[in-house]
Structure 1
Amino acid sequence: MTSPLLAQNTEFGRMYARQANGVPEVPSITTVIGQAATDMDGWVGHMAATAVIQDQRLAECVGNQAKLKAIARQASSAAVEYRDAAARRGDRVHFYAENIALRAMGKPHQCAQARETLKENGEGAFADRFDEWWEQFRVRPLAAEVTVWNSEVGYAGTLDLVAEIAGRICLIDYKTKGTDRNGRAKSLDPKVVIQLTAGLKAQEISVDPAAGTWDEWPYPKDAMLLGVALGETEVVPMMAEPHVLPAYWRRFWALRQVWESNVATAGLGHPLRAVPAPPAAAPAAEPHA
């Protein structure tokens, strides 16, 4: 994940400040969405098992408990290593896409360096497919890496791209995807609709993050929302259906309340305390004769 200048990692997740090095005030869009529980146990177990059976040392370790434990320890971190490697790859692909937009807008860019970095990591096909999509859809970028703010609900975030495509203003979020067994880019998670809807509800846009200056949101509220899957074999843009947006906005709003509740309860200390047994009852007095 890229790190916008106004974003900071905190104990309550990624948060945004109004200006560079300022006090973080509101959670990021992705932090809010992350409040929804996601069961990853099956995937983590699959990654660990796959790492074991693909380990070339396995055959020579059979019967050797110490060596088998070493393989198991290494396999237990397979999911984390895969996630972190995918995040680094996503950063490289996003950086290339951002610089293509900067070049198209006549701004300083690092397109050549970004493409070379992808090639060095065996990821040049991502750049090739992105270029094909960019030309085919005749993308006209208006702003790249756009930091937005909503004071009413209390959140901020960064949109990958605002562009005009076929006469429509589009808010775009890129998702770098692997390739499935059929050679296609893996499908987008529906959560991208929550992310884009929150972006559409922005009230302000950052103009100068160093100075902390903001303008009113300048784009139409009926902009098309596009999740774009960036793969090595293809690029697949998917439009959010307009009729689902109110429900996904309510979902985001509810998750924002969950985040706030978690922050509030985190500062209250331990909510339970032990209760001692009540004192023993005094013995009953003997009745008088």
Structure 2
Amino acid sequence: MTQPRLAEQTEYGRMYARSTSEQATVPSITTVLSRAATDLDGWYGYSAAQAAVQDDRLRAALGSPAQLRAVVRDAAKAAQRHRDDAAARGDRVHTYAEQIALRALGRPHRAAEARATLAEHGEERFASRFDEWWDLYAPEPLAVEVTVWNSTVGYAGTLDLVARIAGKVCLIDYKTKGTDRDGRVKSLDAKVVTQLVAGLKAEESLVDAEAGTWEPWAYGGADLLLGVAVGETEVVPVQAVPAVLEQHWYKFCALHRLWTQETALAAAGPALRPVPPPPPREQP
């Protein structure tokens, strides 16, 4: 995940400040969304089992409890390694997409460098597929990596791109996705709708991070909310269905209340404490 200027990682998740000289006070959109329960038990178990059976040390370790424990210990961390690798890959792809938009705006960019970085990691096909999508849909960038703020609810976030496509103003969020067995990019989760709605409902956008200057959010009336799945074989954009946006906004607000309560509970200290036995009763 990329790190915007005003964001910092805290014990309560990623938080945003109003300027570079101020303390972070509100959670990021993604931090709020992380309060939604996600069942990954099956994925964690599969990742660990796959890592164990693919470990070259496994055969030799079968007769050695110490070596077997080492294999198991490393396998148990497989899901975490996979998650971290996917996050780093996503950052590289997002950086490339950002640089392409900056180039389209005629602003300084590092598109060639970002593509070279992807190539170094064997990920250049993501860039090639993204270029095809960019040429086909011809987005006209209006704002790139724009930080937004909502004071009423109390959150902030950074949107990947605001662009005009075929005359429609679109809020766009990129998701780097893997490829399924049929060679298709994997589908986006519906939570991208909740994320985009939170961006749509922003009240301000950042002008100057150093000075802490903000202006009214200009794209709260955007025509389309698009999640764009970027894969090695294709790029698939999907639109958030307008009929469900209100419910996703209610969901986001509920998750924000949950984050607020969890943060307050964490700051309050331990929720349980030991109870000593009562003093012995006096014998009559």
TM-score scaled by length of structure 1: 0.94
Counterpart contact for 2:187–2:229, Cα < 8 Å: yes
For residue 58 of structure 1, report the CA deviation from its aligned partner.
2.2
Q: Where does residue 74 of structure 2 map in the other structure?
A: 74
Counterpart contact for 2:206–2:213, Cα < 8 Å: yes
Counterpart contact for 2:162–2:171, Cα < 8 Å: yes
For residue 276 of structure 1, report the CA deviation from its aligned partner.
4.3
Do structure 1's residue 277 and structure 2's residue 273 form an aligned pair? no
For residue 21 of structure 1, report the CA deviation from its aligned partner.
3.8
Q: Where does residue 242 of structure 1 map in the other structure?
A: 242
Partner SS for 2:281: coil
For residue 217 of structure 1, report the CA deviation from its aligned partner.
0.6
**Structure 1 stretches of at least 4 aligned residues deviating more than 3 Å after TM superposition:** none
CA distance in 2: counterparts of 1:44 and 1:80, whole angstroms: 9
CA distance in 2: counterparts of 1:79 and 1:265, whole angstroms: 29
Partner SS for 1:169: strand
CA distance in 1: counterparts of 2:70 and 2:122, whole angstroms: 30
For residue 282 of structure 1, report the CA deviation from its aligned partner.
7.5
Aligned CA-pair RMSD: 1.4
CA distance in 2: counterparts of 1:171 and 1:183, whole angstroms: 27
Counterpart contact for 2:227–2:240, Cα < 8 Å: yes
Partner SS for 1:87: helix
Deviations along 1:187-244, one digit per CA (max 9) or x if unpaired, are 1011101100000000000011111100001124243100000000000000000000
For structure 1, the 5+ residue unaligned runs are 284-289
Deviations along 1:38-91, one digit per CA (max 9) or x if unpaired, are 121111110000001112232333323222222111111100111101111000
Give 1:215-226 correspondences, 5 Å limit: 215-226=215-226
Counterpart contact for 1:200–1:223, Cα < 8 Å: no
Q: Which structure is larger by alpha-carbon Rg, 1 or 2?
A: 1
Counterpart contact for 1:201–1:221, Cα < 8 Å: no
Counterpart contact for 1:150–1:156, Cα < 8 Å: yes
Q: Where does residue 36 of structure 1 map in the other structure?
A: 36
CA distance in 1: counterparts of 2:170 and 2:276, whole angstroms: 59
Counterpart contact for 2:141–2:161, Cα < 8 Å: yes
Q: Where does residue 148 of structure 1 map in the other structure?
A: 148
Q: Where does residue 26 of structure 1 map in the other structure?
A: 26
Q: Where does residue 286 of structure 1 map in the other structure?
A: none
CA distance in 1: counterparts of 2:55 and 2:36, whole angstroms: 34
CA distance in 1: counterparts of 2:174 and 2:247, whole angstroms: 22
For residue 174 of structure 1, report the CA deviation from its aligned partner.
0.3
Give 1:31-70 correspondences, 5 Å limit: 31-70=31-70
Deviations along 1:240-281, one digit per CA (max 9) or x if unpaired, are 000000000000000000011111112222233426426636
Q: Where does residue 101 of structure 2 map in the other structure?
A: 101
CA distance in 2: counterparts of 1:146 and 1:186, whole angstroms: 26
Deviations along 1:123-181, one digit per CA (max 9) or x if unpaired, are 00000000000000011111110100000000000000000001100000000001111
Structure 1 stretch 74-83 or stretch 60-69: which is displaced more? 60-69
Do structure 1's residue 229 and structure 2's residue 229 form an aligned pair? yes
Do structure 1's residue 166 and structure 2's residue 169 form an aligned pair? no
Alignment-mate amino acid for residue 277 of structure 1: P
The aligned length equals 283
Partner SS for 1:106: coil
Counterpart contact for 1:169–1:220, Cα < 8 Å: no
Counterpart contact for 1:228–1:238, Cα < 8 Å: yes
CA distance in 1: counterparts of 2:181 and 2:96, whole angstroms: 26
Do structure 1's residue 119 and structure 2's residue 119 form an aligned pair? yes
Partner SS for 1:183: coil
Structure 1 stretch 15-24 or stretch 58-67: which is displaced more? 58-67
CA distance in 2: counterparts of 1:137 and 1:255, whole angstroms: 34
Counterpart contact for 2:204–2:216, Cα < 8 Å: yes
Counterpart contact for 1:193–1:248, Cα < 8 Å: yes
